[in-house]
Structures are given as structure tokens and as C-alpha cells.
Structure 1
Amino acid sequence: MHNQLSLPGQPDALLLDVKERSDKIMNYFLVAYFLVGLFLAGFYGTWLIGIGVGSICLVAYYSTKALLPGSTLYQYVLSAVFGLFMAQFIYQMHGMFEMHFFAFVGCAAMITYQNWKLQIPIIVVVIIHHGLFSYLQDAGLPDIYFTQLSYFDLLTFGMHIFLTAVISFICALWAFQLKKYSELQVAQSIKMTEMQKEVQFTLERRQLSEEKNRILESIGDAFFAVNNDWTVTYWNNTAEKVLKTSRNTILGKNLWDVFAGSVNSESYKMYHEAMALKQYVHFEDYFTPLEKWYDITAYPTEDGLSVFFKDITERKIANLLLLESEKRYSDLFDLSPLPKWVVDIETLRFLDVNAAAIKKYGYSREEFFLMTIRDIRPPEDIAKVEQLINGPMNSDGLTKRGTFTHKKKDGELIQVDIQSNGMNYRGKKAKLIIAHDITDQLKHITEIEKQNKKLKEISWIQSHIIRAPLVRIMGLIPIIKNLAPDDPEREKILEYLDLSANELDDVIKNVTQKISS
């Protein structure tokens, strides 16, 4: 008897969280039911029933749970135990009608497990108890306390069981709907995770200008570049689609002239900050004209600013809906597409990690819990850990730093953007840390800068070295035309022409070699 969500790729933490949370609630219910039995024993002196039956119920539940820790059988036992407690209370109060409502309380409590089948044991116990005890009481058997009515006929029994079944059905339906809603939220989060793709490049040997365009057009993110005067120098196809602005409209124009409505926006401020401080920035911003949210990373270069961004509106809307309607579900942390973990500020030990961190870094959840945050840093970067953990907060509540180097289980080093937020985690001072892998983006920027450097070198060769022999050739040709065929100077000028031509040929070979390298 197992009631588990079978969603592909779903982390075990979701089931574990629902189970553990419900188990804690049931501990309070069981203690309360046992104490109610002791309280009721004082009315008619039913101490033996209150202690005996109550203890048997508790032993049945906790022994099943201890002997079969990997099974959900104990939950079905718990459902039956709630029915038995109802029967005990009815007997203790000599058939007081109100004691029947404890069965309804048990039905409602079982909803938290999100398993409609758990309503079956309690309703079976109620039917057996009511049928047997009403028959025995109507038969005149003494000391059978079921109801304070003198006679419990079949119609009354039927209506009683029917109403109990209706309430049980409503509770089962509620549990079933909760399970379906949880599955829907998990499926949506997994779908969003699958939509995040790694940026891939296919570099082929072409002329440098074509190769540069291939790199920028092949990345999954939208991309544009501006020079130091904010003139747009590049605008890739994805940027055209995401911002609904063609490159013909914006290339060669001032960015803030085209997007005048964005002046003094968050993007405007962050771009200027990156340009002024020569440090990359990563943030999210809302673009009012298109009613879209974007995830943006801007990198300053020697010539201006390079900006990567992508539309995260669906993810943003989904997150807002989840925050509004599912704040109680901690699987939001585990289903984030970015690696996240919670760290004890004093010991720097991992208190919790999400599935993305496990996948990215290669450690299992159990291995993470035996480690500190120092263990995912190269030795030379360990000193930065304390600075990040104890660093001050920004105005938005996040601690932001530059690029950090992290070490995966297999020894691979990656560059990550770190954000953290202080929190209280189960009574401990901790920090929630989010790691954004920017290794590929940094490589792209470096590759582009290398290509720009080569273009500048070729431009200088064309404007200086090639020009010299070409000018000499152009000057010698008119002279040789004016010389007689037998003039002795003609041979010398021809040697000069040959020398200049060979020099020009060497320069052209040098340029060709740079292009193909």
C-alpha cells in the first residue's frame, strides 16, 4: 500500500516533506485523543477502557511505523485507530451522540497525507462498529453502550452511515485534489527547468567577421553590444524576437534614443554601473511596453558593454502564482533550475541543498550534508567564503559579489555569480545562497575580444604595411613608361618593381595567415 507521486524526475524531497509534515501533525492528534480518553474516564469511571484501548491504539500505530519505515501501511493503521478511538469515546460516555463526531475529525486529519484511500479504513471501522453495537444494543445485551436512544432502527442506522460516508467522501475528494494540484505544480516546474538550455556554439573556420557573427547568433540568449557612447554595434536575431526590434532599426543608433522610455529604469542604472565600475552585473527587470520580465547579464569591455538577456516572463508568473498559492510547499527551493543551498553561518556546513546543486556539482545530498562550503572552493579562494557569508546586504536584501570559482566533485572548476540572503533555518542563523554558472558566458566574451583584437591588427597592416610597397609600385610604373627600351635605368627600376611586388606578396601572405589562424 504505497501512495506516491510517480511524476518523472520529481525529487524525493516532495514526498518526504508531505509525509514528515503530516506525521508531526498526527503525533499531536494521537496524544490529544489519548488525553481525551483519560478525561472522559472520569465521568463514568471507565479508566480501564481509556488507558487500555488508548494504549493499544498507540502501540499499533507506532510499532507499525517503526517496523516498516519504508511503507505507508502505518498510515492505514492510523486511519483505523481514529475509528477505534471514536468507538472508545462512545463507550466511555455511555452512548453520548456527540462522541460520533470524533470520526469526522479523524477523516479531516487524514487529508494532510493527500491519499484518498486513507478514508477507507476509518469508514470500515465506523460501519462495523455501528452495525455490531447497534445490533447488540437492540438485542438487549447489557453494558453495550452505543447510543442513548432506546432503539437504533435500520433507517436511523442507514442515514447515520450515509452521512458518515458523505463526509468521508468529501475528505477523500479533498485529499485527491490536493495530490493532483501538487503534481500539477511539480510538472510545471519541471517543464520550466527543461526549457533552460545550455548555450552552444559551433565555430567553423571562416573570415573573422563571419565567425564573430556565428558565435553571437548561435547562443540561446538574446545579445546586443554598445560602444562607450551607447551606440548599438551588434543586435542578434534573438534580440530582434525578444524585444520586437529589428537590427536595421537600431544598429548605429543610440540605445537610449531608441528606448527612451527605459531611461532611469533598473536596466539603465545597472548598465551605467557596469560601465563605470568595469564590473559585470546580473539582474532582472520588467519592460513595461512589452509587459515582459527579463533576466539580464551585462559585461563591460574595452569598447563598451555586452549584454545577454532572456525572457523569463513565464517563469516569473509561475513563481508569483506559486508564492501566492503554494507558499507552504518547500519544494519551490528544490525545484529551482539554479543551484541553491542553505549554509550555517557559524560552521559553514550545508543545511540543505536543492536538486540543481546536486546535479551541477556531482555530490549526493548525503555527501553535501557532511561538507562545508569550503569544500567546493579551490584552496586559493577559501578566504573569500567568510567575506561572502558575513558581507553586508544590498538595498534589495541580497548580498552580491563578483565572479567566484567553484570546484565540482570531479575537480572541474566553474565560474559562478553568487547571491545570498540571510534567513532563520530551523532555529539557526543561516544564509540561502544561489549560484549562477556564467562560465560559458565569460568564455564567449573572451572569444569575442580576441576576434576584435585580430581585426584591429589586420586593419593596421592594411593601412600601413601594405600601403608602402603599393605606393612605390604606383610611383615606378609612370617612370618606366617614359624610359626608352635601351635606357640603363630601366633595368634598375624593374628590379625595384620586383622587390616591391615581392614585399607586397609577403605582406598579403602574412594577413592571410592571421585570418586562418
Structure 2
Amino acid sequence: MMIYTPKAGNAPNDAFLFNVKERSDRLMNYFLMVYFVLGLIFALFYGTWLIAVLVGSLSLIAYYSTKLALPNSTMYQYVLSAVFGIFMAQFIYQMHGMFEMHFFAFIGGVLLITYQKWRLQIPMVIVVILHHALFSYLQNSGMDKIYFSQLYNFDVRTFVIHVTLASVLFYICGLWAYQLKKYNELHLSQTLQMAELQKESLLLLQREQYNEERSTILESIGDAFFAVDKDWVVTYWNQMAEKILSKPKSQMLNSNFWDNFDNSTNSISYQKYKKAVETNQSVHFQDYYEPLDNWYDVSAYPSEKGLSVYFKDITERKRTELLLIESEKKYSDLFQLSPLPKWVFDVETLRFLDVNTAAIEHYGYTKEEFMGMTIRDIRPVEEVPKLEADLAKQLNKDELTKRSNFWHKKKNGELIEVDVQSRDLVYKSKKARLIIANDITEKQRYIKAIEEQNDRLREISWIQSHIVRAPLARILGLVPLIENPAESLDEKEKMLEYMLQSARDLDDVIKNITEKTTITQNFV
């Protein structure tokens, strides 16, 4: 049994053989159907329907079941060879030994050439020899209904000549299969060699183009670039490297890198380059080159050939960073030393990003607690919707500074009213807002007290101008009536009672005014 196992590194040949097998299998499907139909046609001559159906079906079943049961094996091809021999024997029997039926064996042998395997001729040769030997013997023995040859006697000499000639034909078929396979393998090998030569030529051309493009790119990039081999000999030095390090290409190429920078053997660059080569890992760092008073940003990439280094002058950026650090320190001092509570929060997450000392002391939270909170956490629950609305409104404004009053909650639960000023800014690459919170709780209480006092004074003034005058007017009106002699004693007594009631009303009003005046004095 032959198992189809592709050989490593021989993929084109394997693919070719696979295509040969698939093409031959499709061809055999057609011929097997033709052979089966021919058996049915031959059954019309002598009524050999049972032989045609039974032997033909068993032959097809043997072939296709082997093919399905062993999908990765070539065993079915050997079964096919034997099946062609059996069909030959079937046709000879069906046609009562007609000599021409023997040619079906040769047709089968020719068909098997398509597989390009000479060994496939062997099973059919064995079937033909056994069939001829057995049936010629039985026919010569006089056994009834044995159909092998229309000759009266198929003697040994005839048998030997017949089998020899048939074997020669099968040998020729096998030779053709072998020669066809060798020819195809040679053709495929030559094709592959030609393809490999074309590939090598293309790779050489691409390598030359790559080197040209690489040189163009390395000369046009904004970064300085140089490359060294394993012995630190410079193999490439672009124009930007010449400019930044003040070393001409003619001096650097094919010379030892450290011979040209002998004053840098104790530098960070020296240590990093050595590390990259030893560990075979890329490095990125910044280094200061004292002879030129410049800072450089450096990336080094090791390879089998050596080390490739990209770098650029970042002196101006470093100076800007130093100025920025100084500026941030000034901001931090102003922020931390302010007597008013201040903080910075992220406008997206509302989390505190920084708080000053005044905020920590006034609200009672530690800085660590603040850093784990959002600005919602220092609001009473009922104030959160107002906060959300105010934030949404401020996002649609372009004002640099916003001002609003809010109620805040300290850590101890005390509520305070604050005047809040805010300003948008960028804090550590985040969109943020600076808050200045001025506690106006006492101020608001004082203002409220003044307003309440003014309300009481207005009420007293109204009482004096309206309520006091009513009983006083009645008294003033009754006095002339009482002094009139024409009035009777009974009338005067009634008038005195009215006057007394008016005096009582006036007394109540004066008491009320006195009480309000006392409350105002006590509040103040």
C-alpha cells in the first residue's frame, strides 16, 4: 500500500503529482462507467445479465470503497488496475471467448499510464496471467460453460506466446508511464530552476533598488542616521549626521566610530549602544554631548550586521522643558500659597487633579481623599442637578472666567455657601478647569440679617403712620364732644368709654412697636 505523503521542500513536485492524480481520477470515473455500460451491452448477445450486473457492480464497489476508506492512500489505484483486468475477463466470458475482448486489457494498461506509475501495470498483469492460465486449463479440460477462447485447444505454447506478448505490451505501458513521469519531473525541474533564476535576478534588482531607495530615504529624512558593523566600523553616515555632529562623511565612512568620538566612551550613548548590541534589543534615550553643548534624542536598533542609529537635536526642546518646569513651579507656588481654597478638576471625569492647602484645611479632607473624589462629592445631593446644568451651560461658552454661587459640603457635613470662579486650562495634557472657592456663608448671613432689620423698620414706620393715628384720631375727636356742656351726662359717659377703649388700642400699638424695636436691637 502506498500512502501519499508530500516531501518537505518539494512542494511544486507534490502539487504537480497531486494534479496528475486528480486529473487521472476524473478520467477513470468516465471509463469505469463506460466499462460497466459495455458489460450491459455485451449481455444482449448471450443473456449474461447476471455476470454484467454482479461482476461489474462488485468491481465498481471494490474501487470506490477502497478510495473512500483510504482517502490518503494510493491503494485504490492498484485496485483499479486489478478491476481493469477483471472487466477484461468479464467481457471475454460474456462474448464467449471472442479474441478481440482481450484488447480491453491493453486499453486498461494505456489508461493507467496517465497516473505516471509503472507499478500500476503489475496487478493487471497478475490478473491477466491467472485468468488466462485458469480458464485455458478449464476450457482444455472440457468443463462446460467455460468461455476463454474460440480456439478448440489453447495449448501451452499458445498460452506462453500469448502471455509473453501481453507482458511486453504491459511492459511498454509501464515504460511509457515511467518515461512520462521522468520527462515531467525534468520539465518541472527546469521550470523551477528558470523560476529560481528569475527570482534571484529579481531579488538582485530589488536589492539594488532597495539600496538606492534606502539611501534616498536616509538622506531625505529629518533625523540624523548612521550605521556601524559588529566592529563599530561606520558603514553609513547621512548628511544630517554630518550637520548635527560636525563630522564629514568622508572622515566617518569605513572608520571606527569610537576613534572619532574618543571623548564619549564614558557617555550614556556609549553604554546604551553597548547594551543594544549585547542584548540584541533596541534602546531609546536622551544624551547630552558636551563638546557641542547639545542634547540629542537617540534610537538605536541592533541587527545581525551591526547597529543602526537614528538621532535628532533636541536642544531647543530641552531648554523649553526647563522653562516650563520653572513656570510650573511658579504656578504651584501661587496655587499652594493662596489663602482661598483652589482646585483643578478634569472636565470629562470631574475628578480632582490637584488641590491647594487652603482647600484641604477649609473642607477637612486630606489630599489623598480629594484625589479619590469628584466635584460631585462636595455637593449636597439636591445641588448636583444644578451643578450638572451649570457645567453643561459653561461648556457652550467661550468665556475665560465663569462665576457662580453654590452650596458645598465639608467632610464634617457642614454646608457652606461659596462664590465660585472658574477658568478653563490644560493640566498635564488633560482638559481641566481651575476653581477658586470663596466661602461667603457669614457674609450672606449678615446681609440677610440687615435685610430682615430693614423689613422690621419699614413695618414699624407703617405702624406709626397708619395704626397709631387711628386711636389717636378717635381720642382727639372725642375730647371736644366731652367738653361741650350741651351733651348729657349719659352721652359723656359713653364718650369716656370710647376714649378709654381708644387709649387701650393706642397702648397695644405702642407695646407692639416697642417689642419690634427690642427684637431688632437684640438681633443687631
| TM-score, L = length of structure 2 | 0.40
TM-score norm. by structure 1 comes to 0.41
Greater Cα radius of gyration, structure 1 or 2: 2
Q: Which has the higher contact order (CA 8 A, sep 6+)?
A: 1
